[in-house]
Chains A and B, each alone.
Chain A
Amino acid sequence: MNLGSMGEWARIEDMPLVRVTVMLKPDLLDSAGRAVADSLQRMGFDSVAQARIGRVVELEVAEVDEEQIRAMASRLLANPVTEEWTYEVVE
């Protein structure tokens, strides 16, 4: 484990990683996603029809507690008005 460099992401041994993915609700215009799709199309990637941008938050936790993850996701990581979220335990 290298802790010598500020800001380096070093996994902590034996801690499970929870990956929370937050996406804008599908019925809301994702203007940033649209800009990315437009740009890819301009670059010649004609197969791209749409793009959406979300956010990934990785949490290293002492234990995977679904209730806690739900609380964190719904109270801070995602805004329930405009966003929806899913999570996966990476290892």
Chain B
Amino acid sequence: MSRMARAEARSAWLFLAPSLVLFMVFVLLPVLAALGISFTSWDLFTKAHFAGLENYRQLLFEDKLFHKVLGNTAVYVVWTVPIQMALAFIVALLLNRGVWGQNALRVIYFLPVVSSTVAVALIWSWIFNSNFGILNALLSQLGVHDLPGWLNSSKYALPALIIVAIWQGLGYSMVLFLAGLQGISREAYEAGEIDGAVGWKKHRYITLPLLSPTTFFVTIVSLIGSFQVFDLAFVMTQGGPANSTNTIVYYVYQNAFQFYRMGYASAAAMILFAIILTFTLIQYRLQNRWVHYD
């Protein structure tokens, strides 16, 4: 028996070997290395110098641009996540009623999710084009005189990115909400109806509480995804104009691969890591308070 157990353990490690090697080389060691590099000053071509917490001190207390970058990312997240979730919830609720062609509709809402963000960014750059774009043409038809400069304007570039992000990510949250809605049993609604929960009350007192595990999950996933915005900023605006769309990941990219400040960029990446981890932990803490499991 013990020989059999040993043989089983041996096969287990053989099955695990490929993933273990890849996990060590491309995930575990790099995470530790990132932490290590963040304590250095290193331009990739000369020897790295140990810098202690200097990178973090500069980023957190001195670097005005990084503060702007944090602010931009926060604005982006704070607008994108709630609007996208609200719209996704409404669409899921309506689709869940069972309308004609709902499978086709579901697929259409999901198309932007599977599309390359680079291509999506190109399409919307063209739509937002301030001189020849179709959006401003429509707005002027509607009688808007003071047309926004969109991607050329430090005031409107970030809102433009937010619009694209909402459009592109809506389908993903919608699909998760749909799955959650289908998990709510008919009995729950029937019991609610007896207690007088009809119309909007039905959703307020039955759907929303019973959907809270899904809502919780969608919130976390959307938050984490939004904090990592890069492709849109890279293709649509290169972080501009005047750094108005420079986001944390774009700043990491700039410092690492344009300015070759590996230590500084790593420290910024670690701060992103800390932010994401904090949100995840806060959410898990709050989960007990507002998430209802039946």
The answer on A and B forming one complex is no
